[in-house]
Amino acid sequence: MKRTPIYGILAEFDSPTDLVDAARRTTNAGYKKIDAYSPFPIEELAEAIGFHNNGVPLVVLIGGLLGCVGGYLLQYWIAAISFPINIGGRPYNSWPAFIVVTFEMTILVAGLAAVFGMLALNGLPMPYHPVFNVPRFAFATRDRFFLIIFSSDAKYDPVETRHFLENLEPRSISEVPS
Amino acid sequence: MMDEQTQTGGGGRGAPVIEPGYSFATITDKISAIVLTRPTSNGWLVGFGVFFLITMLLLYAMGYLFVRGIGIWGVNIPIGWGFAIVNFVWWIGIGHAGTLISAILLLLRQPWRNSINRFAEAMTLFAVACAGMFPLLHLGRPWLFYWLFPYPNTMNYWPQFRSPLVWDVFAVSTYFTISLVFWFIGLIPDLATLRDRSANRWAAIIYGILAVGWRGSARHWSRYETAYLLLAGLATPLVLSVHTVVSFDFAISIVPGWHTTIFPPYFVAGAIYSGFAMVLMLAIPIRKIYGLEDFITQRHLDNSAKVMLATGLIVAYGYAMEAFMGWYSGNTYDAYTLWNRLHGPYAHVYWSLLTCNIFLPQLLWIRKFRTNPGLLFMVSSIVLIGMWLERFVIVVVSLQRDFLTSSWGMYYPTRWDWMTFIGTLGFFLAAMFLFLRILPMISIFEMRTLLPQAEVKAE
């Protein structure tokens, strides 16, 4: 079985501006399978690596709708079908009294969808990842900014790609073993 | 844009939100060192030890309650809601400030929140945990609390969804769940920082498990930011709804003094009022002891004090309207409730409440009271006492004398009431001590974004 021994090439930068600039130049050079790592969210970065649609809002919308409809139907089924009780002559489906729980269920399911949807779309939890093999990557959660070109990219070439990254003037370059 | 906001902070003036001279690395090191390298001080051990013992007092009081039933408390007809409901409303109100800071101020783009949101959210969680104990203990048979939830059971029985008490179960449990996940996803990037910076192998493994393999990928950050913002958007109406629903527990009934439409807004304002008082009472010693004056600056104290002043005035308006309606409605029972508050057997409580909640907090108009930590701490503690007294007046004084003179009564809390209340204070503070020791009390990654060098400069 032939396996690519290298997962990608990782370049380290000092500032968010350098990283975004490097990411843009890498995308413009035709590299598609790249990623960037930063110690805090950088708004421009996702676009710079060509990532546009993150999918979270749709998941939250679906969660909210499910919670809303499910919450109401639960109360309707209980109060009007399974366990009808006459409370002060109110109709069994006394909807104004059901709004509060419907609202809370909407928030609950939408909120849980936001958290677990985000984690699932990100493929987390993922305890092991090849980039963790690079010792300097520990600084990605402190003050350093990294750009990686994956070896699975069509344009990837061990020598050419490394040369290209060197031209971006990074602080260091490391090969990521897979 | 971030930079401009950092400087002006939406109209605030005076001190900056973060003192100059910090870099990504120094912010990270300073906050993570509190957890990772700072030795456990004797002060921490003593503080934690004392509050842990008080938590044991809570368990003792609870154990005795389980054995003997709620007869050990001072509650009886007509005052069936004693300390349990007073403390429930007080604690859950305190929690509201944490969500206000983390969600509402995020949506309002107030970056000064970044250094206080983490421990304010922890405060929310512990306060809601304390709050949640009281109605459960008050059930009479607390071990059957799960009957509150709709689940298929052999009794063929379901909760009554037309009851505000059932709404409350849903509101409070949703609030706790959403606060917990909001707090947790806020922690993930910082847990990754602790994982990468920890010299202790076991600590690295534990933080690593909790960090769920976070590596700061741009794709992850993009989804993370969207999810965080949407959660804030969901938590904002949620937090306003929780105290609204708590106020429905009272307002939906016909008891004079409870049956009023001003309750929801006035409860929410009171919640934020007491919550900010608690935030300040925690922030002032914490910033001093851990040397965090550079991160929690005069600006934070000043802004929080202004929020307190504003919400305090809304609360004052609520009291004024209650009194006005007592007179203007022409309803004998409402008028009597007002008279009973002012002159009845609990009049001293009502006058103390007005002093603590309305008269003394007006000192916050004076700048010195907003910027001097000692004075602000004092005013905050007065507000917390005042808000507790407010709940006492609402719960006890209204039930004390309702429509029929033959059913009037008095309420005297027993030592078990006091032990349970003081026990939850101990539990709350013991949990805060543990939190300060094992998790970063300030959001490291959000502090990094406050630095001018975090901005991407256009080519």
Convert the pLDDT of each residue in A117-167 to its tens digit.
Answer: 999 999 888 888 888 888 888 888 888 899 998 888 888 888 888 888 888
Q: Is the pLDDT score of B13 beyond 60? A: no
Q: Report the alpha-carbon distance of residue A68 to residue A82 in Å, rounded.
A: 20
Q: What is the pLDDT of residue A127?
A: 85
Q: Distance from A100 to chain B by nearest Cα, in Å?
A: 6
- Taking CB atoms and an 8 Å limit, are B227 and A97 in contact across chains? no
Q: For testing the chain B interface, which of A115, A126, A150, A176 should be mutated: the one with the most B CBs within 10 Å?
A: A115
In the chain, the amino acid numbered B364 is L
- Taking CB atoms and an 8 Å limit, are A141 and B213 in contact across chains? no
How many C-beta atoms lie closer than 10 Å to residue A121's C-beta? 17
Domain total in chain B: 1
Q: For testing the chain A interface, which of B156, B219, B223 should be mutated: the one with the most A CBs within 10 Å?
A: B223
Compute CA distances B444 → B108, B223, B347, whole Å.
20, 19, 48
Mean of the pLDDT values across residues B2-10?
A: 40
Let me know if residue B232 belongs to a domain: no
Domain extent listing, chain A: 8-51+130-177, 56-121
B86 falls in which pLDDT band (50, 70, 90)?
A: very high
B134 falls in which pLDDT band (50, 70, 90)?
A: very high
Q: Is the pLDDT score of B8 beyond 80? A: no
In the chain, the amino acid numbered A107 is I
The answer for residues whose C-beta is within 8 angstroms of residue B263's C-beta and 6 or more apart is B247, B248, B250, B251
Could you tell me the residue range of the domain that residue B251 belongs to? 2-149+158-177+238-454
Pick from B123, B119, B102, B120: nearest CA to B111? B102
How many C-beta atoms lie closer than 10 Å to residue B36's C-beta? 18
Q: Is the pLDDT score of B6 beyond 80? A: no
- Taking CB atoms and an 8 Å limit, are A128 and B217 in contact across chains? no
Q: Which residues of B184-217 are buried (b: 16+ CB within 10 A; e: fewer)?
A: ebbbbbbbbbbbbbbeeeebbebbbebbbbbbbb
Interface contact A87, partner B, CB < 8 A: yes
Q: Report the alpha-carbon distance of residue B378 to residue B62 in Å, rounded.
A: 32
Mean of the pLDDT values across residues B414-432?
A: 95
Compute CA distances B157 → A79, A85, A99, B149, B152, whole Å.
11, 11, 21, 11, 8
Interface contact A81, partner B, CB < 8 A: no
Residue predicted with more confidence, A113 or A44: A113
Q: Is the pLDDT score of B4 beyond 60? A: no
Quick check: B158 and A90 in contact, CB under 8 A? Answer: no
Residue-averaged pLDDT of chain B = 89
Residue entry with tokens 């370049």:
A11
Q: Is the pLDDT score of B1 beyond 80? A: no
A4 falls in which pLDDT band (50, 70, 90)?
A: low
Convert the pLDDT of each residue in A39-71 to its tens digit.
Answer: 989 888 888 888 888 889 999 999 999 999 999
- Taking CB atoms and an 8 Å limit, are A94 and B195 in contact across chains? no
Residue predicted with more confidence, B177 or B451: B177
Mean of the pLDDT values across residues B425-444?
A: 93
Let me know if residue B212 belongs to a domain: no
Let me know if residue B410 belongs to a domain: yes
Backbone dihedral region for residue A148 (phi beyond 0: left; psi -120 to 50: alpha; all else: beta): beta
The proportion of chain B whose per-residue pLDDT surpasses 70, expressed as a percent, equals 97
Residue A148 φ then ψ, to 5°: -125, 140
Residue entry with tokens 């006091």:
B418
Q: What is the pLDDT of residue B73?
A: 93
Convert the pLDDT of each residue in B150-181 to its tens digit.
Answer: 998 898 889 989 889 999 999 999 999 999 99
Q: Distance from B342 to chain A by nearest Cα, in Å?
A: 35
Sort out which chain A residues have CB atoms less than 8 A from B158's CB and list them: 78-79, 82-83
Question: CB pairs below 8 Å between A and B: how many?
Answer: 208
- Taking CB atoms and an 8 Å limit, are B213 and A98 in contact across chains? no
Q: Distance from A78 to chain B by nearest Cα, in Å?
A: 7
Sort out which chain A residues have CB atoms less than 8 A from B246's CB and list them: none
Q: Is the pLDDT score of A116 beyond 50? A: yes
- Taking CB atoms and an 8 Å limit, are A94 and B162 in contact across chains? yes
Q: Distance from B227 to chain A by nearest Cα, in Å?
A: 5
Q: Is the pLDDT score of B214 beyond 50? A: yes
Q: Is the pLDDT score of B7 beyond 70? A: no
Interface contact A108, partner B, CB < 8 A: yes
- Taking CB atoms and an 8 Å limit, are A20 and B158 in contact across chains? no
Let me know if residue B205 belongs to a domain: no
Mean of the pLDDT values across residues B314-330?
A: 92
Q: What is the pLDDT of residue A120?
A: 93
How many helices, marked H, and strands, marked E, lie in chain A? 5, 4
Interface contact A117, partner B, CB < 8 A: yes
Least confident of A98-102, B90-94, B99-103: B99-103
What's the 3-state SS for B224-293? HHHHHHHHHHHHHHHHHHHHHHHHHHHHCCCCCCCCCCCHHHHHHHHHHHHHHHHHHHHHHHHHHHCCCC
Q: Report the alpha-carbon distance of residue B360 to residue B351 in Å, rounded.
A: 12
B11 falls in which pLDDT band (50, 70, 90)?
A: very low
Q: Distance from B106 to chain A by nearest Cα, in Å?
A: 15
Q: Report the alpha-carbon distance of residue B199 to residue B211 in Å, rounded.
A: 16
Sort out which chain B residues have CB atoms less than 8 A from A121's CB and list them: 223
Let me know if residue B66 belongs to a domain: yes
A140 → closest Cβ in B216, B225, B454: B216
- Taking CB atoms and an 8 Å limit, are B231 and A45 in contact across chains? no
In the chain, the amino acid numbered B238 is L
Convert the pLDDT of each residue in B56-73 to its tens digit.
Answer: 999 999 999 999 999 999
Interface contact A131, partner B, CB < 8 A: yes
Helix (H) or strand (E) holding A148: strand A145-150
Q: Distance from A44 to chain B by nearest Cα, in Å?
A: 8
Sort out which chain A residues have CB atoms less than 8 A from B150's CB and list them: 74, 78
Q: What is the pLDDT of residue A143?
A: 87
- Taking CB atoms and an 8 Å limit, are B218 and A49 in contact across chains? yes
DSSP type of residue B18 = S
Q: Report the alpha-carbon distance of residue B107 to residue B175 in Å, rounded.
A: 18
Q: Distance from B24 to chain A by nearest Cα, in Å?
A: 5
A79 → closest Cβ in B161, B453, B459: B161
Interface contact A159, partner B, CB < 8 A: no
In the chain, the amino acid numbered B258 is W
Mean of the pLDDT values across residues A69-85?
A: 93
Convert the pLDDT of each residue in B183-201 to its tens digit.
Answer: 999 999 999 999 988 888 8
Mean pLDDT highest for which of B22-36, B109-123, B348-362? B348-362
